[in-house]
DNA sequence: AATGAATGAGCATTCATTCAT
DNA sequence: TATGAATGAATGCTCATTCAT
């Protein structure tokens, strides 16, 4: 029989998922490799079979998880044809997503401010910037499409998209400080109304 | 206040100001006490004459600097009577402030996510939450006052205030990722328009 | 001997030979078991089927290879009857040998100084000391035989044998530092002349 | 009063001396920084105030100690005018030196074979090669001077010097294996006679 | 027997904090 | 009060060894 075999990608994903959560909860600097190992139910050394260093693990974890999250979120919007409906759904989906991955903004900020993420052949911060641009582009496209259809008015699509994304991201902050500072339901309602009063 | 006390306070402020900047630029975990000492032109040991630990220094630095910044910012608004004008100015002042102290959001998020800030007799995160609540209260008061005067419409004042603060805070994020992701001027314009279309 | 035993011995020798070379080139501490496995074209785990530990492998490798090398070298001298000729040949053969296994002295010294070699039921360093004594004894016998035949003069045979061996071993050192520090041809000539001027 | 002050060079020398001895006794790889710290009566961290890394410490220790040893040894020879006497003294001094620093050859070999010593701005192995060349040059000069004075005969001075140095260095090897393999007194006598029969 | 994935003890190094001056 | 040398706990990472297949 063949010796022990592993599905490398599955294992990497196991590690990445746990690393992502532990990093998110405790911050990068405050997370020990052994914490991640424990969370993943493996040993410290094993992590190093799949990732060169803590930094690489962070980078890969952010890259992978942000990608997965975005894919999942955008997937939900794909089917919706109506411009208004789609924008409305975008707001709700993303506010939900950010509740799920509470703390990710903090992790990102720590990663950025401590110049982590210069890993491997990736350009520094590029995929982060990429994820951001991606989100903005999606929103921008939605707004533009709505305008083309005559549902939305003509505005500075790009900047408006940025603001919309920032509104939602920004909500992470009070939420992180103390989750009772903000009532997500009410917030969603206000964001929605604010956005629609603006775009229409 | 005795001259002695003044001296002590002056020194504390010297340390705090430098600590704040170094923390903001490099993140908490990435900052060494010796970096702060060097920035302040004193020796490492001296810091410990004024602050018990790195954590306390962070807490005091955030507390003090956030307070100073808010005071300064709110001071500028005090004089303005007109509700609309005041709200408009609020947006511009705070977007300016956050450019000045770029990175502070990252520091806050790091501090929060790594459970720093549980220092001494302060309740955890209380002054951060306090600062946040303070900002929100100010905005809320502005909106409410405007409504009372019949300039603004009746809305969910509290939640709206939160969203407004989050829009501005949220802009820190793309700015931190890569300062050319966002054009502050245009952003201010859109934020302003969005807010006014909403409140009026 | 059963075919089974032959197989085992063949495999052990495969591992030993490769281990010897890798150890010699990189030093003991600097050699990973995986390096040896790779050199031998087998897997890491397999080594442990034949050797208890890295230390045992080193010990066995040194023991076996030194033995083989000595056998081969002494074999070449066996046939020579003439005392002078034999001594001359000894010098050349051993200087050649040490060029072939450059670095072995370093490995020995490392092994000795780090108290490796205390393996299993072997007495510490005994076979190393044994190999050394063996070499010295051979030379001593040559000198003594030459004296008996009236070709060499009466000297302190034992100590002289030691010195002769040390001269040749000692040449390994500059050779290891930088192979261009010493011209082997010229060195052989001088050693030969020095020895013959002494023994005659 | 001024704060605690140290004589940096004295402290470095304290560390270097202890490091040299511990390295010499146990080998580089087998020596923990804490061993050195303990030997020097200081803490691990303190070593890093004076040396960047274990490798740098090894390099500096070898460089410094070899230099000191050579200076001391050559100093003893300086006064001696007579060529024969000086050469004789050289042999005895160096055989004594190598007894004092028994194991240094092993350390050197380990350092060389594991490519340690590439530290800082020093060229790899250069000072080791330098120390070797220095020793050889001294001997060569002695032989040449003796020949000039008509006391020694004309020989291949350079190669002869190498051989002489190697004889003495080579004695380190059996001595390291088991100090009773070689009787230093007798060895010195034989070396002396062998050398003098050769050079005269 | 052979494999190579998994383990975890071990160690170099960093840096917040202390303390002698 | 101020200093900066000294400390040692803490942690990333390596690699000999084990073990499931």
| Structural domain contains residue D110 | yes
- What is the per-residue pLDDT for B117? 62
Taking the C1' atom of every nucleotide in all shown strands and the CA of D11, the nearest one is F5
| Structural domain contains residue D24 | no
pLDDT tens-digit map of A141-200? 999 999 999 999 999 999 999 999 999 999 988 888 877 888 999 999 999 999 999 999
Q: Does pLDDT of D146 surpass 80?
A: yes
Whether the beta carbon of D83 falls within 7 A of nucleic chain E: the reply is no
The alpha carbon dihedral of B18, B21, B26, B29 has a sign of positive
| Structural domain contains residue D43 | no
Q: Which two tokens stand for residue D21?
A: 């001895």
Query: Which residue range is the domain that position D92 belongs to?
Result: 55-199
In B107-126, the residues whose Cβ lies within 8 Å of chain A are 107-110, 112-115, 125
In B2-41, the residues whose Cβ lies within 8 Å of chain A are 24-30
Q: Which two tokens stand for residue B111?
A: 């501090």
| Structural domain contains residue C149 | yes
Average pLDDT for residues A60-65, to the nearest whole number?
A: 92
Q: Does D113 sit within 8 Å of C107, measured CB to CB?
A: yes
Please identify every stretch of chain B with a pLDDT value under 50, giving residue numbers as ranges. Answer: 119-121
DSSP-derived letter for residue C103 is T
Collapsing DSSP states into helix, strand and coil, what is residue B117?
Answer: coil
Taking the C1' atom of every nucleotide in all shown strands and the CA of D47, the nearest one is F6
Number of domains in chain A: 1
Average pLDDT for residues A50-71, to the nearest whole number?
A: 93
Q: How many Cβ contacts (< 8 angstroms) between chains C and D?
A: 183
Report residues 5-44 of C contacting strand E, contact meaning Cβ closer than 7 Å: 11, 42-44
H-only helix segments in B31-183: 33-40, 44-50, 54-78, 83-100, 104-113, 126-148, 157-177
The angle that helices D104-113 and D157-177 make with each other, rounded to 10 degrees, is 100
Q: Does pLDDT of A120 surpass 50?
A: no
Closest residue, CA to C1' of F11: A32
The residue among A153 and D109 whose pLDDT is bigger is: A153
- Contacts of the segment B121-125: beta carbons below 8 A, 24+ positions apart: B122/B59, B125/A177, B125/A178
pLDDT tens-digit map of B143-192? 999 999 999 999 999 999 999 999 999 998 888 887 788 899 999 999 99
Q: How many CB atoms lie within 10 A of CB D190?
A: 22
pLDDT in tens, chain C (200 residues): 566 676 888 999 999 999 999 999 988 989 999 999 999 999 999 999 999 999 999 999 998 998 899 888 889 898 999 999 999 999 999 998 888 888 888 888 888 877 766 544 455 556 777 888 888 999 999 999 999 999 999 999 999 999 999 999 999 888 888 778 889 999 999 999 999 999 99
pLDDT tens-digit map of D44-64? 999 999 999 999 999 999 999
Q: Distance, in angstroms, between A82 CA and closest chain B CA?
A: 22
Euclidean distance between CA atoms C180 and C6, whole angstroms: 43
Q: Does pLDDT of D122 surpass 80?
A: no
Question: Alpha-carbon dihedral of residues B152, B153, B156, B160, nearest 10 degrees?
Answer: -40
Average pLDDT for residues A69-88, to the nearest whole number?
A: 92
At residue C64, φ and ψ (nearest 5 deg) are -65, -50
- What is the per-residue pLDDT for C126? 66
Whether the beta carbon of B31 falls within 7 A of nucleic chain E: the reply is yes
Touch between B and C (at least 3 CB pairs under 8 Å): no
Euclidean distance between CA atoms D69 and B62, whole angstroms: 57
Q: Distance, in angstroms, between D105 CA and closest chain C CA?
A: 7
Q: Neighbours of D (≥3 Cβ pairs closer than 8 A)? A: C
Q: Does C129 sit within 8 Å of D173, measured CB to CB?
A: no
Q: Does C131 reach chain D within 8 Å, measured CB to CB?
A: no
Q: Does B27 sit within 8 Å of A186, measured CB to CB?
A: no
Q: Does B133 reach chain A within 8 Å, measured CB to CB?
A: yes
| Structural domain contains residue C135 | yes
Distance A26 CA to E18 C1' (A): 28
Q: Does D165 sit within 8 Å of C190, measured CB to CB?
A: no
Q: Does pLDDT of D3 surpass 80?
A: no
Mutate to test the interface with D, among C109, C158, C181 (most CBs of D within 10 A): C109
What is the average pLDDT value for chain A, to the nearest integer? 88
Euclidean distance between CA atoms A137 and A160, whole angstroms: 11
Determine the Cα angle at B191 with ends B187 and B194, to 5°.
140
Q: Which nucleotides of E are covered by protein (CB under 7 A)?
A: 1-21
| Structural domain contains residue B9 | no
Residue whose tokens read 């803590």:
A54
Q: Does pLDDT of D191 surpass 50?
A: yes
| Structural domain contains residue D6 | no
- Whether residue A98 contacts residue A165, with contact meaning beta carbons closer than 8 Å, is answered with no
Touch between C and D (at least 3 CB pairs under 8 Å): yes
Name C123's Cβ contacts closer than 8 Å, sequence gap at least 6: none
The residue among D117 and A124 whose pLDDT is bigger is: D117
Q: Look up the CATH number of the domain holding residue D192.
A: 1.10.357.10
Euclidean distance between CA atoms C117 and A180, whole angstroms: 66
Q: Does D108 sit within 8 Å of C173, measured CB to CB?
A: yes
Given B24, B169, B174, which is nearest A162 (Cβ)? B174
Euclidean distance between CA atoms A172 and B199, whole angstroms: 23
- Whether residue C64 contacts residue C13, with contact meaning beta carbons closer than 8 Å, is answered with yes
What's the Cα-to-Cα distance from C128 to each of A78, A113, C133, D24, D174, rounded to whole Å?
76, 58, 8, 20, 9
Q: Which residues in chain D are closer than 8 Å to C156, comparing Cβ atoms?
A: 186, 189-190
Euclidean distance between CA atoms C197 and C147, whole angstroms: 14
- What is the per-residue pLDDT for A181? 85
Collapsing DSSP states into helix, strand and coil, what is residue C28?
Answer: coil
| Structural domain contains residue B96 | yes
Residues lining strand F at under 7 Å (Cβ) are A 1-5, 31-34, 44-45, 48, 53-55; B 11, 42-46, 48-49; C 31-34, 44-45, 48, 53-55; D 3-6, 11, 42-46, 48-49
Given B27, B187, B197, which is nearest A198 (Cβ)? B197
Mutate to test the interface with C, among D28, D158, D166, D182 (most CBs of C within 10 A): D166
Could you list the beta-strand ranges (E) of chain C: none
- What is the per-residue pLDDT for B4? 67
Q: Which residues in chain B are closer than 8 Å to A95, comparing Cβ atoms?
A: none
Q: Distance, in angstroms, between C155 CA and closest chain D CA?
A: 9
The residue of chain C with its CA nearest to that of D160 is C190
Q: Which two tokens stand for residue C60?
A: 């066995």
The angle that helices B3-26 and B33-40 make with each other, rounded to 10 degrees, is 120
């Amino acid at each position: 029989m063949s010796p022990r075999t592993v599905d490398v990608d599955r294992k990497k994903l196991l590690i990445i998922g746990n690393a992502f959560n532990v990093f998110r909860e405790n911050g990068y600097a405050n997370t020990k490799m052994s914490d991640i190992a424990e969370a993943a139910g493996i040993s410290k050394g094993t992590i190093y079979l799949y990732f060169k260093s803590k930094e690489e693990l962070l980078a890969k974890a952010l890259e992978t998880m942000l990608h997965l999250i975005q894919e999942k979120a955008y997937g939900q919007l794909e089917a919706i044809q109506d411009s208004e409906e789609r924008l409305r759904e975008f707001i709700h989906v993303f506010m939900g997503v950010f509740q799920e991955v509470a703390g990710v903004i903090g992790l990102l900020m720590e990663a950025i401010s401590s110049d982590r993420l210069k890993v491997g052949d990736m350009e520094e911060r590029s995929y982060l910037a990429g994820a951001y641009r991606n989100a903005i582009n999606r929103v921008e496209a939605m707004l533009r499409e709505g305008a083309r259809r005559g549902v939305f008015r003509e505005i500075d699509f790009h900047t408006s998209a940025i603001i919309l994304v920032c509104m939602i991201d920004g909500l992470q902050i009070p939420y992180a400080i103390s989750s009772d500072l903000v009532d997500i339901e009410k917030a969603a309602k206000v964001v929605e109304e604010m956005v629609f009063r603006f775009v229409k």
